Amino acid sequence: MSSKIIPILRIFDYRKMVEFYVEWLGFAIDWEHRFNDNAPVYLSVTKGDITLHLTEHHGDGCPGARLRIITTNIVEYQKQLTDKQYKYNKPGLKEDWNGEPCVTVLDPFGNQLTFVEAKQ
């Protein structure tokens, strides 16, 4: 059996979502769904092997989720993020509890994403 977990994160503002997830973090929007032009959006974003679903729908989740995302090239990614001069977030490169390099960012909706480069 092959499996993949896709977290669903609550968002409140489409424009702020694009600014944070697409323009700053570098995710791409795969698809979007709205029941009509005045309905909340549900969408999928990806960056490499990372897939997240983001939703404006009440009841789909609570803001304040925390994700630990295992990835590679974290030093380079942290430099790319700081070079973009995003005024709402200035992530530093740290070591997590296991001594692995990590970068933590807080999205505009209270969700915390920690990108970690796992030791071999």
C-alpha 98: how far from chain center: 22
Q: Whole-angstrom Cα distance, residue 45 to residue 51?
A: 6
Question: Does a structural domain hold residue 24?
Answer: yes
Question: Does a structural domain hold residue 1?
Answer: no
Q: Whole-angstrom Cα distance, residue 118 to residue 70?
A: 6
Domain total in the chain: 1
Question: Does a structural domain hold residue 33?
Answer: yes
Question: Does a structural domain hold residue 92?
Answer: yes
Question: Does a structural domain hold residue 2?
Answer: no
The CATH code of the domain that includes 75 is: 3.10.180.10
Report pLDDT for 63. Answer: 86
Question: Does a structural domain hold residue 3?
Answer: no
Residue-range definition of the domain harbouring residue 108? 8-117
Which pTM does this prediction carry? 0.93
pLDDT digits (tens, 9 = 90+) for 42-88: 999 999 999 999 999 988 888 899 999 999 999 999 999 999 999 99
